[in-house]
Chains A and B, each alone.
Chain A
């Protein structure tokens, strides 16, 4: 079970207080209606899913309810950094 530092609460808490939401830094296109199906599909479905260092969006769901980024290694499960969105 991960030990995660919430950058808002500024405390380490057990993983069960959190959950993973998505890949970090997915930006909603500013003009969705101007996107082609291809572009909208990229935004909807295509993710890097990197083996190794990866940025993810998590939420402190039963804590402060804040969303934040975790930089972690998906191979070793090491957490390198957590930061506010």
Chain B
């Protein structure tokens, strides 16, 4: 297709670099420097989308981030698909492939268009809810189809092929926006020896100056921009970012900036480069110079392709050398938009008329336009647009000075483009992200940033200073304020300027053009183009009783699109205000939240994906586990062997049965390195232990270990473990694997805030030690083959003793403690010896058929013995008494240990608390799913009275039956009673309450010779 709308000269594009790209399956050309939007307009493409609800054809309306219609699905391959990219932001590169996100089978021939045309009147706001919510159960059926029809782009089904990065910055001043205000502020500050970042959303710095015909210091503004940039680039303390959107302003001047580094280069980022970077900036000061967006006026059929904002047309002419039509009608309520008529005229195309809604515009620029021979119709407005796939004409009428009604003769003008300007809306978004509200200025009919508590300053049109001279002056003032506040020395005064003030006549307060017919019968007047929200929809919402702007927003879905209503929201608020007969500030704005524009998930995630998503912790023996058939379980960040497959494909239950039998019949070996280990020293260490554990520690001798339970102040169990006395003032505490960090912080909390007078120190030594547990009747025989310096005799090295010695040639602490009920030793060696000792045990263990086992077998074996796992059999609502662990509570301690008072509360002592007991199914092969609730009578009327739930349930190979533990109300007094566990599938499992110790109730096994 030829570029019928491309001008012969002008624009910041490289006419020597022709680029071919594909849009909706058709090939188009453009030049280096074009966006998809500018290139499509150059080729005369009218329709780029189908509207959301009515499926109406839509064209490009704007030139920047505020564009509501031209939303693209980008990408040739599945892995490079990117949804919801704006054609007005995406630069073209050779081979770029994109499609409209809306429209099926294509946006030119849309199936839904037919529906929209005939059903338009039947799709009021809230239509989906009103129509489809009853009967409620069918919503899920409808929802699938409704969402499918509504979709805006799709996510890729394959993993993103690109890489993204995060970069942290600590700087003095962040300047948002490199228009005239941002540039001059940066220039002035650059002499003050501060670190500055200047972030510009578009591809090029200069902002409005790039499409302006004004002079600065007697020269073309573009010359001034070039010179300013050259100076800034030469300063190493100034960081200039283009294609970088400042998306979030967070607490304490933390700002997130999304830089699109290579999106304009190719489908995939060049090797070694990040596609996008998320800059995380902490700055002392922010100068917000984010500019303003022109808002269109609202009028009948204002969505027909060819309707655009006035400034967008000027941007296409000046920056891209593209003029998007032949015959222009411009409607405005202000002076500023007249520039567009001049631009159009100077391109040699026809300006049919300027339609000014003000009764008597007499400004300098109005006269200038009149002198060019352009028709200016004052006191008139465009009330309707002719044409369907492209504007063919407009209907104009007289408008009352109040803007409340139109009257008189209707005149039709032939044209193909309608530009409109309803004034400018400052981009206040970032100023509101931390909770500040914008304030309304009647004189410029716009919201500007409200009062602020952070170090944030506002400069230029974001603060309502549209006139270039005022805009530059305010930015200079901002810079000077920072220099003054920070007492900075300036080497030379930069940024002085001379600009002629362009005095403008005031804007007319007008947002929506009335029609000769009442709202409900007039042609559709669109407010939010992306969501198809019309004036009549807002009107209906207000009449149905939605009076808060936040409610109207949610009911009509105004501002809910990917554009977040950048173009339409202020108009919508004004229309609500008008319908409610309130002022605009009374109605107020909806809430602006980060992010300002959509951010790719890849950018948010950065490098924190796959292995870097969450660190994995490995024990010293991890490699051996991998090589020997281990399947792993995540416990916190640790990878623990879950069970070992003796051969590939061994079923889990078979492996567990084999491991469980091996431990009880001969000997098994487990990696217990992940258990939390805290080294505790100090002359009050013993006293401290007595305060945080429920049992007594005063008499624990050197060489002895003791099991302890830790409670919260409310008396509920939160962790447990064995603590060894290494020396009179030196202890080694073990915690659960998952509880290690929590316990250390708990100890520190009480030491630092409650008992700082105690002389005690804590340090995590979890990673310093490898812990190898050998369990089973042959454990002593195995250990004796490798152990020196420890008398392993059963009466010399008793249960709950620990000894220092040599194992496999390296220093070791050996603990005789047992979590399986078997004879058991836990060998602790320095972590870097762990693999050596583990392997030595494997070799020596061959003759005992030493079997490695994982966490699941450990769980089964401890459950056979009725040992609890804190966090599995407890849930923060269980006292030691509920667990039947009265033996673990000391009443002799003088200090009221943590949890003592809590568990003595009346509710903890009352009858009928849930207590942990064993549960034995009547059919011994049946297993009760964990979490099942017990009832006394499964046939009682609903709701069933639940007695308590199953916390642990396994198949025990050693007993050849299922075993379980669970809570039962008053369970200790109900031994032998039958209870029932109803299942979701309707079956009922019958079981008997029993002791939780299923195996070796007398504890003889751990004392074998």
Contacts and interface: CB of A to CB of B under 8 A. Distances in A.
Interface of A: 1-3, 14, 21, 28, 31-33, 35, 37, 40-41, 43-44, 57, 59, 61, 65-67, 76-79, 85
A79 to B, nearest CB: 7
A33 B900 contact: yes
Contacts of A31: 896
Given A28-B754, A44-B714, A78-B453, A67 B252 contact: no
Contacts of B904: 33
A28 B752 CA distance: 13
Interface of B: 250-254, 282, 434-435, 453, 713-714, 745, 748-749, 752-754, 896, 900-902, 904-906
11 contacts: A1-B254, A3-B252, A14-B254, A41-B905, A43-B713, A44-B714, A44-B902, A57-B753, A59-B748, A59-B749, A77-B252
Nearest to A41: B905
Given A3-B282, A77-B434, A85 B753 contact: yes
A71 B713 CA distance: 25
B901 A35 contact: yes
B748 A65 contact: yes
Nearest to A33: B896
B896 A32 contact: yes
Nearest to B435: A76
Contacts of B250: 1
B280 to A, nearest CB: 8
B901 A33 contact: yes
Contacts of B252: 1-3, 77, 79
B313 to A, nearest CB: 41
Contacts of B906: 37
A85 B752 contact: yes
A55 B901 CA distance: 26
Contacts of B896: 31-33
Nearest to B282: A3
Nearest to A32: B901
Contacts of B754: 28
A79 B253 CA distance: 12
A35 B902 CA distance: 10
A67 B900 contact: no
Nearest to B453: A76
Contacts of A37: 905-906
Nearest to B254: A1
A66 B253 contact: no
Given A77-B251, A79-B252, A40 B901 contact: yes
B749 A3 contact: no
A13 to B, nearest CB: 10
A78 B745 CA distance: 26
A65 B753 CA distance: 13
Contacts of A59: 745, 748-749
A33 B904 CA distance: 9
Nearest to A68: B752
A57 B745 CA distance: 13
Q: Which residue, of B282, B435, B453, B896, has the highest number of chain A Cβ atoms within 10 A?
A: B896
Contacts of A3: 251-254, 282
Contacts of B251: 1-3, 77
B98 to A, nearest CB: 35
B819 to A, nearest CB: 30
B749 A21 contact: yes
A8 B906 CA distance: 42
Nearest to A24: B753
Nearest to B434: A77
A26 B906 CA distance: 23
A23 to B, nearest CB: 12
Contacts of A76: 435, 453
Contacts of A43: 713
Contacts of B902: 40, 44
Q: Which residue, of A35, A66, A77, has the highest number of chain B Cβ atoms within 10 A?
A: A77
Given A40-B902, A40-B905, 10 more contacts: A31-B896, A32-B896, A33-B900, A33-B901, A37-B905, A41-B905, A65-B748, A67-B748, A67-B753, A85-B752
A3 B92 CA distance: 40
Nearest to A76: B453
A67 to B, nearest CB: 5
A3 B749 CA distance: 22
A54 B167 CA distance: 33
Contacts of A40: 901-902, 905
Nearest to A84: B752
Contacts of A1: 250-252, 254
A35 B900 CA distance: 12
B713 A61 contact: no
A3 B745 CA distance: 22
Q: Which residue, of B252, B453, B714, has the highest number of chain A Cβ atoms within 10 A?
A: B252
A32 B900 contact: yes
A3 B280 CA distance: 13
Contacts of A44: 713-714, 902
Contacts of B748: 59, 65, 67
A32 B748 CA distance: 20
| Pairs A-B, 9 closest by C-beta atoms | A32-B901, A3-B252, A32-B896, A67-B752, A77-B251, A1-B254, A33-B896, A28-B754, A37-B905
B745 A61 contact: yes
A44 B711 CA distance: 13
Contacts of B714: 44
Nearest to A25: B753
A40 to B, nearest CB: 5
A85 B748 CA distance: 12
A53 to B, nearest CB: 14
A76 B251 CA distance: 9
B900 A66 contact: no
B901 A67 contact: no
Contacts of A14: 254, 282
A61 B745 CA distance: 8
A13 B971 CA distance: 51
A2 B749 CA distance: 22
Nearest to B904: A33
A2 B251 CA distance: 6
Contacts of B901: 32-33, 35, 40
A37 B906 CA distance: 7
A14 B714 CA distance: 32
B882 to A, nearest CB: 18
A82 B748 CA distance: 19
